[in-house]
Structure 1
């Protein structure tokens, strides 16, 4: 199953490299585009659910790494929740290690 990384820029200008076990993440995010926190969270959850369905179908179990990544990103989003105009920018997609 083709996995990938994607790079995010947070409202504080810090950057994170995230993991997806499926290329589906590219269907939900566009490089160079900024997403409001709630929109980013909804897209992330939808993409992770589909990725997990694909992993489940192929291997018989969901991807714990994808679930952990989602939890980490949602916790990071929560840190910026007090900032009503905060956005996450998807910088790039790249191959997984």
Structure 2
């Protein structure tokens, strides 16, 4: 499957490289996009869930790396300040 990495900057300044097993994330995120933390987490849940479903359809099991990526996103979101946006810095193959 054509994997992608979503590069983001959190409101606290931390950078994160988020793995996806599918290009589906390109339908949810674009370089320069800004969104509140809660919205970003919701979008990541949806995008990574769909990406994992594509792996399941192709191989018969969900993508563990996509689940780990989502867990890392949720952990990082939990320690963010109340104000501020997540910035998508890019998507790479």
TM-score normalised by the shorter chain: which range applies?
Answer: over 0.9
- Determine if the alignment matches structure 1 residue 87 to structure 2 residue 85: yes
Q: How many pairs align?
A: 93
TM (norm. structure 1) is 0.91
Structure 1 residues 18-74: Cα deviation after superposition (integer angstroms, max 9, x where no partner) = 110000111111211111011101100110111111000001000001000100111
Distance 2:14 2:77 in 1: 13
Q: What pairs with 1:52-63 in structure 2 (closer than 5 Å)?
A: 52-63=52-63
Secondary structure of residue in 1 paired with 2:12? coil
Q: Which ranges of structure 2 fall in alignment gaps of 5 or more residues? A: none
Report how far residue 86 of structure 1 moved. 2.1
CA RMSD of aligned residues (A): 0.9
TM-score, normalising length from structure 2? 0.94
Specify every segment of 5 or more residues in structure 1 that has no aligned partner in the other structure, as ranges: none
* SS of aligned partner of 1:68: helix
